[in-house]
Each structure stands twice: as C-alpha cells, then as structure tokens.
Amino acid sequence: MKLYDGGRAPNPRRVTVFLKEKGIEVEFVPVDMGSFGHKSPEITSKNPLQRLPILELDDGTILCESVAICRYFEEIQPDPPLFGIDAKDKALVEMWNRRAELSFFAAVAAAFRHLHPAMREWEVPQVPEWGEANKPKVLDFLRFLDGELATREFIAGPRYTIADITAMIAFEFMKPAKITCPEELTHVWRWYKAVHQRPSAAL
C-alpha cells in the first residue's frame, strides 16, 4: 500500500503520528503541497477533492480523510488501541475526537486559512472577518478543555487516543494561526507538553 503524504500539513500529520504510535510502516509518497502538488492530475485522479492524505491499498482501493485512514489501520492492527477498548470507551473516544475536530481543529484552521497571507491562493475568497470570529472559539474550547483535563491525564480518559492526536495537531496549528493558549490554562499545558514529548510527535 502507499500513503500519499503532505508532510507537516495538519491532516497528513495526524495519520503520520497515528502510524508511529502503532509502529506501522508503509510506503510514503511525498507530495509537495507548497507547489500545489495535491492539485496535480495524479492526485486529482485519486481524490477529486484534491486533499491529502490518500491511502492506496494493494487492491487499488483509495481511502481518503485522515480519521478513515486511521480507522483502517486500527482494524488491521488493533494494538495499541487508539480508538478505545470497549463499547463505552470507543464512544467516549469518538465523542472527544469529534469535539476536538469540530470545536478546536476546525476553528484554528478557519483562523489560519482566512487570515494568513500565504493562504490567499488556497482559500478563495479569504474572509478575514470569519478568521477573526474563530479565534475566540478556539480560546473558549481551550478553557472548557482545561476544566476537563483537571480530572484525567488524556483527552478521552486515562489512555492516549486519536483524540489526543487531533487535539495536539490543532494546538500546534495555533502558532501559524497566531493564537496563543493562555498560561493560566495549566491543565492544557501539562497535557500538551506530555503528548508533544512522545516519540510519535517528533517531526
């Protein structure tokens, strides 16, 4: 199988971290998103939405979307479990991963895509007002998360899961989006420093 990878871009990086946590090695096909390699005829033929990452299985099946790709690897190699261990745990992981995606990751992405000058050719049209409107949403979620992390080590419970991967990538993405996590959110900072120090997080 082949993984068409976009390097340090947030969604490809989610899969890269997931694979490292699993100890799975696949053939990587690097795609230079900076030169719009994701819009090439080859990539477009595999994913008409022109987004990365893309997993091409040996039988020719194409899987897109980061979480879908991660779920595939979870099924073929269940250990360590990153989507939960039983019905309740899996539901909690799904709940927190969705919260991290919809209320955190998406808001950071909107701020970055609609405010950063380098994104003018990517986000057409850029709507600066929408970018600014998402910054407070990020901070509101971080305050909510800080209260949750006061009672547990990781996002979805006592174990590291895909929810931590999603939230970590979103947290890292705050820097180019020019959003700063308040220092008083000590539980968020404790969590981030811990997940950022895992070998899987190394760039």
Residues 135-169 pLDDT 10s: 999 999 999 999 999 999 999 999 999 999 999 99
In this prediction, residues 80-93 reach a mean pLDDT of: 98
Superfamily name with CATH number, domain 2-76:
Glutaredoxin (3.40.30.10)
If one compares 46 and 119, the residue with the highest pLDDT of the two is: 46
Tell me the chain's radius of gyration from C-alpha atoms: 17
Mean pLDDT of all residues in the chain? 96
Q: What was the pLDDT predicted at 126?
A: 85
Q: Is residue 74 pLDDT above 80, yes or no?
A: yes
Q: What was the pLDDT predicted at 197?
A: 98
What is the token pair recorded at 24? Answer: 């799975």
Q: Is residue 34 pLDDT above 90, yes or no?
A: no
Domain ranges of the chain: 2-76, 87-201
Spatial distance between the Cα atoms of 34 and 48, rounded to a whole number of angstroms: 18
Q: What was the pLDDT predicted at 123?
A: 81
Q: What was the pLDDT predicted at 31?
A: 96
Q: Is residue 90 pLDDT above 90, yes or no?
A: yes
How many residues does this entry show for the chain? 203
Q: What was the pLDDT predicted at 115?
A: 92
Instruction: Give this prediction's pTM.
Output: 0.96
Q: Is residue 203 pLDDT above 80, yes or no?
A: no
Spatial distance between the Cα atoms of 56 and 43, rounded to a whole number of angstroms: 11
DSSP the chain: -EEEE-TTSHHHHHHHHHHHHHT---EEEE--GGGTGGGSHHHHHH-TT--S-EEE-TTS-EEESHHHHHHHHHHH--SS-SS-SSHHHHHHHHHHHHHIIIIIIHHHHHHHHHH-GGGTTTSSS--HHHHHHHHHHHHHHHHHHHHHHTS-SBTTBSS--HHHHHHHHHHHHTTTTT----TT-HHHHHHHHHHHTSGGG--
CATH of domain 87-201: 1.20.1050.10
Q: Are the beta carbons of 54 and 29 closer than 8 angstroms? A: no
Q: What was the pLDDT predicted at 141?
A: 98
